Amino acid sequence: MTRSLFGTDGVRGEANSHPMTAEMALRLGAAVGRYFRRDGQTRYRAVIGKDTRLSGYMLETALTAGLTSTGMNVLLLGPVPTPAVGLLTRSMRADLGIMISASHNPSTDNGIKFFGPDGFKLSDEAEAEIEAMLGSEIRLARPENIGRARRIDDGRGRYVEYVKTTFPRGVRLDGLKVVIDCANGAAYRAAPETLWELGAEVISVGVEPNGHNINDGVGSTQPQVAAQAVIEHGADVGICLDGDADRVTLLDETGTEADGDQLMALMAERWAEDGRLKDGTLVATVMSNLGLEVHLQGRGLQLKRTPVGDRYVMEAMRSGGWNLGGEQSGHIIMTDYATTGDGLIAGLQFLAEMVRTGRPASELAQRFERCPQLLKNVRYAAGADPLQTASVKAAIATAEARLRGNGRLLIRKSGTEPLIRVMAECENEDLLSEIVDGVADAVARQATAAE
């Protein structure tokens, strides 16, 4: 089976346009409800969380209608981080978890992510089966078996209490001044509460959601406001989450950014010292910097690479029995603690190391020298495929020949937006720019011609 509706992280698109319409959410709810109730038994339940987008109300209601129409009972968590849905799906003995979020995308977008009863995201195969069910008539429940919906008022509190258990016992954050940027998103209450309860002096940024301002000038992909707050308040560190709080960008005391690669390097080193890093292995995607791989090799550790997408990192971790992985973008997956990326728990791991060593964030956050890396995104029209044209293929072949032995080139379609990402790494920065610009220009010409 193939998938066309599902991308690398569920279903995503512009709100109130296909596929992010109330009608599609209703159909998806019914399809996934029937998928999990194929044996016809009763007493099935689903949990639904969401971020702070205005369209979340519409999609939550439609999904609930679809699920209950097939006999699923629905537990509504309200605004909670994506990792909270994975956690509560498992702890509440639910059969299905759903997160309504478009992560770091603008407020005009939204998405739907599905979790199985184990708290892990559904496999490609399961998503393909659900997608196939949309094309056929879905058997509805008899009137006496229609499901119920119920609000769960303490979902956020349950998540906060669990997150605190991942911090070293007996350790507090007294004396640390922490800027936390919640992107006006799902963690706008949970993250500041957690840090305050652990003893930190908290300066909050991006904690006034209004339905339209999620990720707007704040959050892990736009940390400039948080960096300014770090400097103005003399903070020790900044932690920037994205809209659904499953990724993180760190800021040291000077406001300098550290991406997921640097945080994974620190954690891999530390966990290896403690004998916690399974098989001395870190799992990351093809986007992670070459410098990370060299750094790990110098410490007797290995890097396993996967396709882009935290779901593929998790699949590799589960199949290999490894417990630490993630993405350069800041998805940090720690299966000792969570079933998906968790930006808040990852940030706490960094704070714990600051407390343990007494060293400033600037010393801990830059673990290796990055190989020069350049990424350009080229937008293309729906239905077009510039990568299949002769001119783009020729440009890619030429670039690969010029880079051979001196770096690497990676070209891929985004799984969440109509973008083609052109990335290269090379010590020669002039050559790096020429390579990326040449391929990106070739793609852009074809993308424009297709409009």
Q: Are 286 and 367 in contact (CB under 8 A)?
A: no
**305, β-bridge pairs:** 284
pLDDT value for 367: 96
Confidence grade of residue 38 (pLDDT, cut at 50, 70, 90): low
Cβ burial of 361 (10 Å; 0-12, 13-18, 19+) is buried
3-class secondary structure, 15: strand
Confidence grade of residue 2 (pLDDT, cut at 50, 70, 90): low
Confidence grade of residue 1 (pLDDT, cut at 50, 70, 90): low
> Which residues are the active-site residues?
103
* pLDDT, mean of residues 209-237: 98
In the chain, where the domains are located? 11-153, 158-257, 260-346, 373-449
Q: Are 215 and 104 in contact (CB under 8 A)?
A: yes
Nearest in space to 207 (alpha carbons), one of 195, 197, 145: 195
DSSP string, 337-404: T-SS--HHHHHHHHHHHHHHH---HHHHS--SPPPPEEEEEEE--TT--GGGSHHHHHHHHHHHHHHT
Domains 158-257 and 260-346 share a fold: yes
Q: Where are the beta strands (DSSP E) in 51-152?
A: 72-79, 96-100, 109-115, 149-151
> What is the residue-averaged pLDDT of the chain?
94
CATH number 3.40.120.10 given to 11-153: yes
CATH class held by domain 373-449: alpha beta
* pLDDT, mean of residues 419-431: 92
Give 47-63 pLDDT, tens digit per residue.
999 999 999 999 999 99
Confidence grade of residue 42 (pLDDT, cut at 50, 70, 90): low
* pLDDT, mean of residues 101-115: 96
Is the pLDDT at 290 greater than 70, yes or no? yes
Options 3.40.50.2000, 3.30.70.100, 3.40.50.10140, 3.40.120.10; CATH of 260-346: 3.40.120.10
What percent of the chain has a predicted confidence (pLDDT) above 90?
87
What percent of the chain has a predicted confidence (pLDDT) above 70?
97
pLDDT value for 347: 98
Give 336-371 pLDDT, tens digit per residue.
999 999 999 999 999 999 999 999 999 999 999 999
Higher per-residue confidence, 171 vs 2 = 171
**């009972």: which residue's tokens?**
73
- CA–CA separation, 35 vs 138, rounded Å? 10
Confidence grade of residue 177 (pLDDT, cut at 50, 70, 90): very high
DSSP string, 135-192: TSPPPPPPGGG---EEE-TTHHHHHHHHHHHTSPTT---TT-EEEEE-TTSTTTTHHH
Q: What is the CATH number of domain 158-257?
A: 3.40.120.10
Is the pLDDT at 305 greater than 60, yes or no? yes
